[in-house]
């Protein structure tokens, strides 16, 4: 997994708004207020399947905010961290506080972890299939812009070495990763002219990676670009559409052979376009000389991981709904959360 410092995440207005809560939590809040009830409870949150946990650090920031004014000597939060593996029914978060201080935010807490953990887990599947070659997240175009940063951050937590959006990369303390769009090549009308313009105007620290599937045969375009940019060319990206048979292991092999024969062994080959763990494994089994993979829809379209929040104590008394064991679940992995550090 990519090493990322766990820092306080900015909280969106939707996350803090009661309008994003399931209505029954708002009604419970109103009833408890009228009845002057606000017990100290212990809530435990667990996942339903094996997963790469993500969104838990954002949950810590939310809890630090909402528990700040209602904090007592008994208030505490214990949790795992973004990037930790979690197993079915393992407790990943335990909150001990007055119920009305955080009960309204259960929807947000579970939703943040469900979606982010789904993305991180899908990214890890791709990363493990591609290893030791790296994977970059290109999934932002498949989700609403409001969550594209969270998607890319989650993908990096899952092991991707980079992401295409500045928002997601910034959350992970990285620079965004990207080549050039097909639209740029189409506007210039020639791959080499587009590559030369890219080289003229982009800062030196931006890798010169050029799309070579827009107009001509990919191997031919790769050679034209390599001759034009020389040692400044970092790599080529193959993104052949499904209408032309997509990128295949044999195509990668041909491009590599022709580049090598022409003396361009330094040029890397990046593959994208409908990549999944299964397709990545096909390239690996074939022995295709891919240097890195870019994955979009598989990560972005990942099914959220189901999380459940259960009250396990009320004013120190063990309790649980039917089918669950009353009382605190023993866990050696939960770590105390310093709420002041996350506020």
SS3 string, 182-251, reads HHHHHHHCCHHHHHHHHHHHCCCCCCEEEECCCCCCHHHHHHHHHHHHHHHEEEEEECCCHHHCCCCHHH
Smallest CA-to-CA distance from 147 within 337, 276, 20, 3 is with 20
Q: Is the confidence at residue 340, as pLDDT, over 70?
A: yes
What is the phi/psi pair of residue 204, to 5°?
A: -60, -25
Residue 2 pLDDT class (50, 70, 90 cuts): very low
Q: Which residues contact 125 (CB under 8 A, 6 or more apart)?
A: 277
Q: pLDDT digit string (tens) for 280-336?
A: 999 999 999 999 999 999 999 999 999 999 999 999 999 999 888 999 999 999 999
Q: Residue 206 in contact with residue 166, Cβ under 8 Å?
A: no
Q: Is the confidence at residue 74, as pLDDT, over 90?
A: no
Please tell me the distance from the alpha carbon of residue 337 to that of residue 341, in angstroms, as a whole number: 8
Please tell me the distance from the alpha carbon of residue 17 to that of residue 64, in angstroms, as a whole number: 15
Report the percent of the chain where pLDDT is more than 70. Answer: 97
Residue 187 pLDDT class (50, 70, 90 cuts): very high
**What is the H or E stretch that residue 156 is in?**
helix 145-157
The structure tokens 């970092």 sit at 234
Lowest mean pLDDT, pick from 87-91, 142-146, 211-215, 292-296 = 142-146
Residue-range domains of the chain with CATH: 13-117+303-342 (3.20.140.10), 125-300 (3.20.20.70)
Please tell me the distance from the alpha carbon of residue 167 to that of residue 247, in angstroms, as a whole number: 29
Mean of the per-residue pLDDT values of the chain: 92
Q: pLDDT digit string (tens) for 7-47?
A: 556 677 777 777 778 888 888 888 988 999 999 999 999 99
């Amino acid at each position: 997994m990519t090493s990322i410092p766990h820092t306080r995440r900015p909280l969106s207005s939707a996350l803090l708004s009661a309008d994003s809560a399931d209505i029954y939590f708002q009604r419970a809040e109103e009833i408890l207020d009228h009845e002057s009830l606000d017990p100290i409870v212990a809530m435990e949150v667990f996942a339903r399947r094996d997963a790469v946990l993500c969104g838990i650090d954002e949950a810590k920031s939310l809890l630090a905010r909402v528990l700040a004014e209602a904090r007592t000597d008994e208030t505490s939060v214990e949790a795992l961290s973004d990037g930790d593996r979690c197993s079915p029914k393992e407790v990943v978060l335990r909150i001990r506080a007055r119920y009305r201080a955080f009960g309204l935010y259960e929807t947000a807490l579970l939703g943040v972890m469900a979606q982010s953990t789904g993305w991180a887990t899908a990214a890890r599947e791709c990363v493990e299939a591609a290893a030791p070659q790296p994977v970059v997240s290109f999934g932002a175009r498949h989700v609403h812009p409001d969550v594209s940063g969270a998607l890319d951050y989650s993908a990096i937590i899952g092991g991707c070495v980079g992401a295409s959006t500045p928002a997601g990369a910034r959350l992970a303390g990285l620079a965004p990763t990207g080549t050039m769009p097909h639209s740029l090549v189409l506007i210039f009308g020639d791959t080499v002219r587009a590559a030369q313009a890219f080289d003229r105007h982009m800062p030196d620290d931006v890798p010169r990676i050029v799309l070579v599937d827009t107009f001509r045969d990919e191997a031919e375009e790769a050679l034209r670009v390599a001759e034009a940019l020389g040692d400044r060319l970092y790599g080529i990206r193959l993104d052949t559409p499904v209408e032309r048979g997509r990128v295949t292991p044999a195509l990668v092999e041909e491009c590599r052979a022709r580049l090598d024969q022409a003396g361009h062994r330094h040029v890397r080959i990046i593959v994208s376009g409908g990549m999944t763990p299964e397709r990545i494994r096909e390239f690996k089994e074939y022995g295709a000389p891919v240097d890195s993979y870019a994955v979009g829809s598989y990560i972005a379209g990942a099914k959220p991981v189901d999380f459940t929040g259960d009250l396990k104590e009320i004013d120190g008394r063990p309790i649980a709904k039917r089918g669950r064991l009353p009382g605190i679940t023993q866990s050696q992995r939960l770590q105390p959360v310093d709420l002041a550090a996350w506020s």
